[in-house]
Structure 1
Amino acid sequence: MGHREDLLEGAKRCLLEKGFVRTTARDIVKESGTNLASIGYHYGSKDALLTRAFVELVQEWGEKFDSPVARDAEPGGSLDRFHSVWARMLESFEDYRPVWAASMEIVTQGERVPELRDLMAKAQIEGRSGLVAMFTGQDEETLDERTVKALGGFYQALLNGLMVQWLFDPASASTADDLTEGLRRVIAGVREAK
């Protein structure tokens, strides 16, 4: 591994142990066995490096529970698929608690660090297309911009809200059953309103 990869892996470990706000450039250097100048050379800033590390941790989380077998178990777009995806996500939340806590720190830092806000805005769009693919079974490359924004944004809003609920109190947070029943009720309400 080169300095770039070492820095990224070190930043991931720091995020999980210390979080976004408490991690210093020196922490990353110590954890990665590199030097301070490497951060600027490869990533531009400590915040940019930590943001990239965060994005990769979230991607690793998504890959962990979104296996091809799980994707093919229920038809894309079905209530069964909706329930199954949320159930798998919730099962992984405890292991990834430090990632979700770091995401809350990153949200609060966005106003102070415009570079961070820009990087996270790009990552948010990528995340939306991944969520659409998980819930619908569609290939990310085939998704049009409107689908990513509307449907991906819907799933992302649910995920972010669930993450906040879960960080505050996992015992009272919505379950996959709750979310699925909520969606059933929304669908029924729309049908009745017609």
Structure 2
Amino acid sequence: MDRVAPKEAGGYRDRLLAGAVACLQEKGYARTTARDLVTASGTNLASIGYHFGGKDALLNEAIAAVFEQWTARVEHSMFDSRPATPREMLERAMTALVDVFEDLGPQLVLCVEGYPAALREPVLRQKLAEAYARGRAAGTDMIRRAADQLGVELPMAPEVLVSVLIAISDGLMLQWLLDPAATPDARQVVDTLATLSAFIA
């Protein structure tokens, strides 16, 4: 995932978001203070209230932004080169979802730490639910676009397929954080899905 140096980003809003991501990765949701955000972003306390309404709203927005950047990365992986077979398209998607864990280590921790915080913070819960909804909608559009490019008919509702792929990615993310060596890669995931499909058909 691309990183933006907070003090080199565009306006105050972008700098605050980048600084919030950096603070969340370093300190976590509960331990990040408004002064931490100001220091990391090179802004001031008033700018937090002006652009986001408060510290918690800024942190919530930063967590949601990380999810959306990941979705954009998947889309880029799927469509940045020539049309492929359905299996190759799935491998591209799973590569962008699974084979990036090592590169995204701090962001993964940030994402996971957002879940328990969301259970106690209704606004954050809503933000994450909206981020997932946008991710599912984007994924559905990607699948329909891929099917059109490949000239194939989808065997199931794309919304269901996207939800299952997200669930696989999220589950593997948790496994990778605990034991990277024991976590299957994208090709193994696709091989397993293909084998399972043939077995239960």
Provide the TM-score with structure 1 as the length reference: 0.80
Residue 181 of structure 2 aligns with an amino acid whose one-letter code is: A
Number of aligned residue pairs: 182
Q: In the alignment, what sits opposite 2:112?
A: 104
**Is the 1:132–1:138 contact (alpha carbons within 8 Å) kept by the matching residues of 2?**
no
CA contact (8 A) 1:48 1:119 kept: no
Deviation at 1:169, TM superposition (A): 1.1
Given the alignment of the two structures, is residue 86 of structure 1 paired with residue 94 of structure 2, yes or no?
yes
Partner of 2:163: 153
Query: What is the match of residue 6 of structure 1?
Result: 15
User: 47, 51, 61: which one pairs with 1:42?
Assistant: 51
| Structure 2 CA distance for partners of 1:174 and 1:53, relative to 1, 3 Å | same
Change (3 A) 1:163 1:26: same
- Quick one: distance in 2 between partners of 1:5 and 1:106? 20
Percent of pairs with identical residues: 36
- Cross-structure match for 2:193: 183
Q: 2:135 aligns with which of 108, 122, 127?
A: 127
Q: Distance in 2 between matches of 1:137 and 1:165?
A: 31
Structure 1 position 95 matched with structure 2 position 103: yes
Q: Which runs of 5+ in 2 are unaligned?
A: 1-9, 148-155
Residues 58, 99 of structure 1: 8 Å contact kept: no
Alpha-carbon distance, 1:130 to partner: 2.7
Give the CA deviation at 1:12.
2.1
Q: Output one character per residue of 1:4-23: Cα deviation in whole Å (capped at 9) or x when no partner.
A: 22211211222233333332
Structure 1: gaps (5+ residues):
140-145
Asked if the contact 1:132/1:155 (under 8 Å) is kept, the reply is no
Change (3 A) 1:151 1:90: closer
Across the aligned residues of Structure 1 and Structure 2, the Cα RMSD in angstroms comes to 2.5
